[in-house]
């Protein structure tokens, strides 16, 4: 396997793992918290973007 192929495989694995984490981690985390396991969130909670006062006034 050449170096370029290795880089492409690593990038593909990284992208796939992002999708897998987005799909798998929240239910697992909720189940673990319900079961009483200490859960360390991998991804920080993302704040919902609400429009500012000027947008609401307009």
Q: For residue range 8-47, what is the model confidence (pLDDT) as tens digits?
A: 998 888 787 777 777 776 777 677 667 766 555 555 555 5
Q: Which domain holds residue 20?
A: 1-34
CB atoms within 10 A of CB 48: 5
51 domain-assigned: no
**pLDDT at residue number 31:** 73
End-to-end CA distance of the chain: 58
22 domain-assigned: yes
What is the C-alpha radius of gyration for the chain, rounded to an integer number of angstroms?
19
- Assess whether pLDDT exceeds 80 at residue 4: yes
Number of independent structural domains in the chain: 1
- Assess whether pLDDT exceeds 70 at residue 6: yes
- Assess whether pLDDT exceeds 70 at residue 58: no
**pLDDT at residue number 51:** 55
């Amino acid at each position: 396997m050449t170096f370029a192929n290795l880089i492409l495989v690593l990038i593909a694995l990284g992208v796939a793992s992002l999708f897998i984490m987005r799909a798998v981690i929240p239910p697992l985390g909720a189940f673990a918290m319900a079961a009483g396991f200490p859960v360390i969130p991998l991804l920080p909670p993302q704040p919902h973007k609400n429009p500012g006062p000027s947008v609401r006034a307009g």
